[in-house]
Amino acid sequence: MFKIGIIGCGRIVEEGHAPAFKELIKDVNVVALADTAIERCEKIGGILNVDRAHWYTDYTEMLKKEKLDFVDIALPHFLHEKVVIDCANAGVNIISEKPLATNLKEVDHMLKAVEKNEVILAVLHNYRYQPAMKKAIEITKAGVIGTRFIIRSEGLGGSHYAGTGAYDPDWRTKQNMAGGGCLIDNGYHNIYISRELMGADVVSVYARVNTYYHKIDVDDSAFLLLKHSNGGTTSIQIAWAVKAGGQGVNEVHGKLGSIFFGREGKPLGVFLNEKGTWEYPDVSAIPQNSFTGIFQDIFYAVEKGEKVPTDGYEARRNLQIIMAAYESARKEKVVKV
């Protein structure tokens, strides 16, 4: 049974992490909470049954007083660096929200502290665990649609995911707190997903990144063309600028067939070229909450002494591609990664 302290008890902890911890009651025990806004400790303490004697407005106090196996960090991006380093120096294993930081320099400081203190760092690339995505990854890995060469990954929305009102609901729209806009926040997921579905890493990126609609100092739309090491291409479209909402297209095309997400109202459709038929795999046995799946895999990996699903180096690689996309947009050039 792992003892966990949460640092940052905001919206995603309420909507994603806390329900997952409740589902994983046999593996984990959330014993302490830290948030500068005490009402957030109260909120999450109520959901996870954590007594007020274990609520902290200063996470360093929590690190001193509690015996923790892991911290779960869900703070605005710009706060991750200092908190991860403090936790590593306190000898506590770390689960961190994505992106690991707002730039690669911060990530390198974090990785240095993690290495020095020999603690575990796992980063929440949780979209890999959404039921349809998990199944699609299994299908591609099993070779069912053959070598993949085109991926479409599109999520056009009208605004950012607002943080809790107890802090600053719009921190995501501020460069100094978020390090970018919809690309670093949402597009981050599309990138690791496309790398996984293609089964090949990204070797270069061409991007257009704009602020078309909102009066904010970060991007509200991003368009990326990724070249993968197998020659395949991913196109990503992501936005906070489309009030009507886009059609949420997700497709993977391979030499033997294709995978469509959400076709005919089904989570997943698989087209087999040779047969010319569609199949609709059942995904109902996979946990609905993607955090349940990733937390479970992290804890199982640690129990067995194996590598965690997404470590700090993998998170760094994903952020490197984001940074290359911003550079590409600035220079209007293809950037190698």
Q: Which residues bind ligand NAD (CB under 6 A)?
A: 7-12, 34-37, 40, 59, 74-77, 79, 97-98, 124, 126, 161, 163-164, 166-167, 171, 185
* Contact present, 111 and 138 (Cβ < 8 Å): no
Q: Which lies closer to ligand NAD via its Cβ, residue 227 or residue 316? A: 316
Outline where DSSP puts E strands in 135-280. Answer: 148-156, 202-210, 221-228, 233-239, 250-254, 257-261, 268-272, 277-279
Say which amino acid occupies 308: V
Q: Closest separation between CB of residue 164 and ligand NAD, Å?
A: 4
Cβ proximity to ligand NAD, 53 vs 142, nearer residue: 53
- Listed residue (261, 327, 322, 337) closest to 98, CA to CA: 322
Taking CB atoms, the residue at the shortest distance from ligand NAD is: 10
Q: State the nearest-atom distance from the C-beta of 270 to ligand NAD, in Å.
A: 25
Of the pair 12, 122, the CB lying nearest ligand NAD is at 12
**Minimum distance from CB of 35 to ligand NAD (Å)?**
4
The nearer residue to ligand NAD, 97 or 314, going by C-beta atoms, is: 97
Coil, strand or helix at 330: helix
CB of 7 to ligand NAD, least distance (A): 6
Q: Which two tokens stand for residue 182?
A: 């919809």
Q: Considering the complex, what minimum distance in angstroms separates the CB of residue 16 from ligand NAD?
A: 6
Cα 45 to chain center, whole Å? 24
Query: Shortest distance, CB of residue 266 to ligand NAD, whole angstroms?
Result: 23
Is the N-terminal amide bond of 99 cis, ω within 30° of 0? Answer: yes
Q: What is the DSSP string of 158-198?
A: SS-----TTS-TTGGG-HHHHSSSHIIIIIHHHHHHHHHHH
- When the beta carbons of 76 and 309 are compared against ligand NAD, the nearer one is 76
Q: For ligand NAD, which is the closer residue by CB, 164 or 292?
A: 164
Integer Cα distance of 323 and 184 in angstroms = 8
* Main-chain phi, psi angles of 24, to 5 degrees: -100, 30
39's CB contacts (< 8 A; 6+ apart) are: 166
Output the smallest distance, CB 332 to ligand NAD, in A. 28
Q: Identify which of residues 36 and 117 has a Cβ nearer to ligand NAD in the complex.
A: 36
Answer yes or no: are the C-beta atoms of 225 and 329 closer than 8 Å: no
